[in-house]
Structure 1
Amino acid sequence: MELYDVLIVGGGPIGLASALEAKKNKLKYIVIEKGTVANSLYNYPLYMTFFSTADRLEIDEIPFITTKAKPGRQDALEYYQGIARAKGINIRPYEKVINIQKSTFFQVETSKQIYFAKNVIIATGFYDIPNMMNIPGEDLPKVRHYYTEPYPYAFQNVVVIGSSNSSVDAALEIYRKGGNVTMIIRNQEISKSVKYWVKPDIENRIKEGSIKAFFGAELLEIKPHSAVFKTSKGEIKEIENDFVLAMTGYLPDFEFLRNIGINLKGDCLNPHYDKETMESNVKGIYLAGVVCGGKDTHLWFIENSRIHAKQIVQDIVSKNN
């Protein structure tokens, strides 16, 4: 039986940071990733630009070299996958963790085999499960919860739900490729979290009427060739529609967390963990990165959760001494 000091679930930036920290401390480790390295970033919109500067996205003090003031998706993929190659990270891509059980050691069942580990780090992010609207027609083929590029939506009637960065980027890009864009927004204004260099652009496009926006509105039903929504005044409107981009956010895999024994609390389903060590209520299972925030997926991101890797590995090493 091969026994690892630590098994890391998730090969994104924080999972890689945890692997580098384990390697520096001479721990026997392995990373299990259900997709490619930095899979969540791979699934981001093709032309996405980060809010953060490159130095804020660095892990293990490895310089993130780019000529751009704000790196994009491809820059980040080059950086994180390059680190995995250059540092010889022990990672198993395209292998999904199905369950984790504890006896003497943790038994980790994946889609390919079973691993044994003394400790487990969960660094799975939140990009896998869309936050569903639960309205009629949401299962129609024309409804998309992920956006990659604008070209499929050229010359189409597109409804974009929300006013976050992903919604705004999609609306602007599709409009500029000839799409007829209508935004349905629950709030009374564009989100304050939208990138500061993009916010004036979307506000001006709405003001001039190039992009239609209904604030304080709610999508009620999606039909094959139309969409029905309620305005802020309570009026019911039905408009012609070819595609709906439901940019309603994403959630961690709460069922997986529950199944491995993690306690979730409150309306946001915040996982239980020690803020100093990041150890969960299950001794030997640690949480790292965005997954720590539960439904509040804006609480943790790369630049403020990089430290989790060091906190966790320091605790594991201290217990071994």
Structure 2
Amino acid sequence: MDDLETRELRYFVTVAEELHFGRAAARLGMSQPPLSRAIRQLEQRIGTELFERNPRGVTLTAAGTVLFGDAGPALAAVAAAGRRAQRAGRRTRHLVLAVKAGADHELLQAFLDVQDADPDALPIEVVFGEVHEQAAFLRDGTADIALMHRTYDDLTGFDAEDLRTEQQVAILPRTHPLAARPALSTADLRDLPDLPAARWPRVDGTYPDGPGPEVRSQAQLAQLVALGRTVIVIPRSSRTLQWPEHVAVPVLDAALATTVIAWPAASTSPDVARAVRNAVSAAETFATSRTA
């Protein structure tokens, strides 16, 4: 079988998302007949039908379902490669580092200081995102490297080096009875009727079921805690999110959170490798200074 083309994969994905050739053609800015021919040619090249046609639209066959699951990431990887190549070809080159807003501030500063002091290292541009966006930034080529947390983030498809491991704390409203405790357990925080856990959107934008408030940003989350509407458990270094209306209490049996520097597993960039080494060096120096 000949290699598949990104154009025909994009056509296929659009039809698979719409399950209707007319709507898919409108999205693609083309008429329906050439789209139908392109899908037929794709099916002939693969040697199997990808859609079952019916008067009201189409449905995916078993083969189409498999291709749909693989085609999206493949197209995203091609687009990401283009963005990284474009950035590498600029006259003034730099690396893009994705981080969570408010997280790992001291470690981030230590890393940037080491990177800036290295005459052979590229400058770093920092882009901030909300929870779980760092993985998306790496996958779509927006970022070259990212600071992520092994406890929370999906590291599938990335290589990573551990930078530091730390305890987690509960961020509570200052007026809540649990805020006076010297320490808590996960059982103390489970199913609190007055402080249901906040719900972050999934990758597809939908929210998991539950009584907790729906949030989209760290700022929203911090204000909801201050208003006594929810509680959060976060790495201790993320206490830069803490407001005067908050109290941070250690959660003794919570899983330890490990901050990592992550990058696409397929990367062969010496500039990325140098940045990773600098991040590890900065983390080691930072840990030594904290224990001195």
Do the structures match in fold with TM over 0.5? no
Larger Rg: 2
Q: TM-score range by the shorter chain?
A: under 0.3
> Please, what TM-score do these two structures have when normalized by structure 1?
0.25
Larger relative helix fraction: 2
Larger relative strand fraction: 1
> Please, what TM-score do these two structures have when normalized by structure 2?
0.26
